[in-house]
Amino acid sequence: MSGQNGLWNKLGGAKEAGKGIVLGDIDSGITPENPAFSGEKLISNPSDNKPYLDNGMIKYKKADGQTFTGICDKGEPDQQFSTDDCTTKIISARWYLKDTLGGFLRELFEGLGEKFSPRDIGGHGSHTASIATGNYNTETTVDNENAGKMSGVAPGAKIAVYKACWAILCPESGTLSAIDQATKDGVDAINYSIGSEGVTSTVTPTDMAFLNAANAGIFIAAAAGNSGPDASSLDHAAPWYTTVAASTIPEAKKPNTPVPQIADFSSRGPAKTETSDIIKPDIAAPGVNILAAVNNTKTGETNFGYLSGTSMATPHVAGLAMLYQYKHPNATPAEVKSAIMTSAYNTLDIDGEEVTDPFVQGSGNIDPLKAIDPGLVYLNTYNDWKGYVNYISPNSYPKVQPLNPRDLNLASIGVGDVLAGKTKIVRKVTAKRAGIYNLEFKLPGFGMTVNKEKLVFTQAGETKEFQITFAP
């Protein structure tokens, strides 16, 4: 990311990278005093490049020309949060707790030290937010010891906080409200480092809330989960968001580690849902021993910590997506996802051999420099996604033709019943620049033919298709 040939430099410098882009972090809140989140005091003078106050709301003109609108909800009295905790970096802070159990949840969370405000008590939300958007070259300390400097993936981006997780639980009523509000507010990307084990459906209330968000142009990064290495242990399997596995950070001094490895805890596919034609996870990113901001009291010393999990991998992808949006302000979520997937590279297993199993690593590990400038992208639309929903849940959207999951124009191809006979798959690719692209496919153990050897594009925006035939 850094250095003369790094991605930040190619985007105008680290402090600019992500400018005009807003992250919606749905998690356990934030620790606003941490220097990873420092910003200027909000004022009421409208500005084209800074967030400002407008009748109690916080507004920010984004890179795509739209306006984000947030609010700083200080919570209940004496809950360690104030309206001054929102700045030109943290441009919105909300919290959600709908206690449907007669006060039981509130009493439970209060007993665990929770604050009924956007204040982060456990540190998880601060960690994920700073990985994605933490300020450039932030000095860090771990247990009062200097730990060097850290930067978020998109240091120039802004943060909108949606606290929906409390101590030991993330009630669905809160996460759904947070997704809907983030969509209304106008965030560009959502980080969702929340999940469970062994998803069985792709049309859950959470999936459908994310479908609405994706339709609004929001990129969603969702954690695969930490229930690996068992097969079919992952969460989040719908095609309109990007599901993230966790990899290690390469260590050049150790054998077999210049290339990342998939963490043992990272949840695996295939997902046992309504269809076996959607490959998950989609991508892998660093998620082992990640240094980032954690919690502190309002008057306590700021702190950082090392955490591991797909929760830490996911904001790396959200941050990379925001850098893509910074360079391509009108990119759709499908375009961003395609760019990240098609530019990835294979990880290694413990013996130093290349991993090619998509149910372990998805398309591979993220490659930020390549992802930001793809040659071709696989695009799909809200209507495609609705057709997918109609295929597995008939008549969900009247007048929308059902679409077989394998025919979704994704950057991966899944055919669950390939042994049943010949299967033909069509994919369309759209050029980001002119060029000649050769088609190469490898699938050991199966017969496969492609109807074209190359695709020729004379200008950006052209779309061409190719057909693959599989046979057992």
pLDDT the model gives residue 447? 84
CA distance 358 to 277: 12
Mean pLDDT within 427-446: 91
- Give the tokens for residue 260: 């990342």
* 3-state class (DSSP) for residue 60: strand
Q: Are strands 242-247 and 219-223 parallel, antiparallel or unpaired?
A: parallel
* Placement of tokens 């068992």 in the chain: 230
| Phi/psi at 447 (5° precision) | -80, 140
pLDDT the model gives residue 257? 64
Mean pLDDT within 234-242: 97
For the cut 70, the answer to whether the pLDDT of residue 285 exceeds it is yes
Peptide bond preceding 171: is omega within 30 degrees of 0, i.e. cis? no
Average pLDDT, rounded, for the chain? 94
Mean pLDDT within 274-286: 95
pLDDT the model gives residue 335? 98
Cite the DSSP H helix spans in 328-381: 333-342, 358-361, 368-371
* 3-state class (DSSP) for residue 255: coil
Over residues 347-383, the pLDDT tens digits come to: 999 888 999 999 999 999 999 999 999 999 999 999 9
CA distance 54 to 56: 6
Please give the torsion angle defined by the CA atoms of residues 125, 129, 134 and 140, in that order, rounded to the nearest 10 degrees.
20
- What contacts 4, CB < 8 A, 6 or more positions away? none
Over residues 74-131, the pLDDT tens digits come to: 999 999 999 999 999 999 999 999 766 668 888 999 999 999 999 999 999 999 999 9
CA distance 400 to 357: 34
pLDDT the model gives residue 442? 81
Over residues 133-188, the pLDDT tens digits come to: 999 999 999 998 999 999 999 999 999 999 999 998 999 999 999 999 999 999 99
- Work out the angle between the directed axes of helices 205-215 and 382-392 (0-180°, nearest 10): 160
pLDDT the model gives residue 468? 94
Q: Of 236, 195, 238, whose CA–CA distance to 215 is shortest?
A: 238
Q: Of 21, 429, 15, 14, whose CA–CA distance to 218 is shortest?
A: 21
* Placement of tokens 């967030």 in the chain: 51
For the cut 90, the answer to whether the pLDDT of residue 252 exceeds it is no
pLDDT the model gives residue 255? 60
Partnered with residue 242 across adjacent β-strands are: 221
Q: Where are the beta strands (DSSP E) in 390-434?
A: 423-431
CB 248 within 8 A of CB 286: yes
* 3-state class (DSSP) for residue 452: coil
pLDDT the model gives residue 295? 93
- Work out the angle between the directed axes of helices 205-215 and 172-185 (0-180°, nearest 10): 10
Q: How many helices (H) and strands (E) does the chain have?
A: 10, 20
Over residues 13-50, the pLDDT tens digits come to: 999 999 999 999 999 999 999 999 999 999 998 877 89
CB 457 within 8 A of CB 400: no
Distance set, CA 249 to CA 153, 206, 257, 384 (Å) = 15, 31, 8, 36
pLDDT the model gives residue 174? 94
Percentage, residues of the chain above pLDDT 90:
85
